[in-house]
Structure 1
Amino acid sequence: MAGVDLPVRAIREQIASAVDLIVHQARLKDGTRRITNITEVQGMEGDVIVMQDVFVFEQTGVLEGKIQGRLKATGIRPKFVEKFEVMGINLSPSLFGFSY
């Protein structure tokens, strides 16, 4: 897209429509790398890209100098679940931290 000047809002709209999930990996204090967040891009609100954490890393302790923990569901049912269901892929509600 060289030579094309797009407004910031248009670029953000393209990102929001193209990206469903962001997987964030971080280096922890003990030097290990862990996935710390799995976040859904939900769309746009005005000029802002709206995101919602689906899973977050929860530290449970330290064992022999290494951080222990797990990804914990936030209880949010991501919008992409509907896309999966249309394709015949059913994800258990318990995966996202709730049941019904």
Structure 2
Amino acid sequence: MSAEVRERVLELVGTGMPLAAVCRVEGMPSRQTVYDWRRRDPEFGRQFEVVAEFGRVLLVEAVSEEYQQIMHDHPPKIARRWWNARHRDLVRVNSKFFGGPY
């Protein structure tokens, strides 16, 4: 794969997009290919971890802003249901980072 494809993978992961979703984008490699790149190229592996962490932080910030708006616009019970549903989604994306056994 070209350096451009590797850079695009890093760019998309850095936006908070899960690797599985990145790999469904046309022209992107399979998850196994990305895992192989990470294993075979330590520098790419380090870059991937940095941008993935940044992407997760962006997700936390976005969810926090959404939750603040939901709390402002709806009763606490509705806001709590929204939070629980969103948290389950995040845990499915990365259970180690977002915690919880969903």
With CA pairs under 8 Å and 6+ residues apart, which has the higher RCO, 1 or 2? 2
The TM-score normalised by the length of structure 1 is 0.26
Q: Which structure has greater strand proportion? A: 1
Q: Which structure has greater helix proportion? A: 2
The TM-score normalised by the length of structure 2 is 0.26
Larger radius of gyration, structure 1 or 2?
1
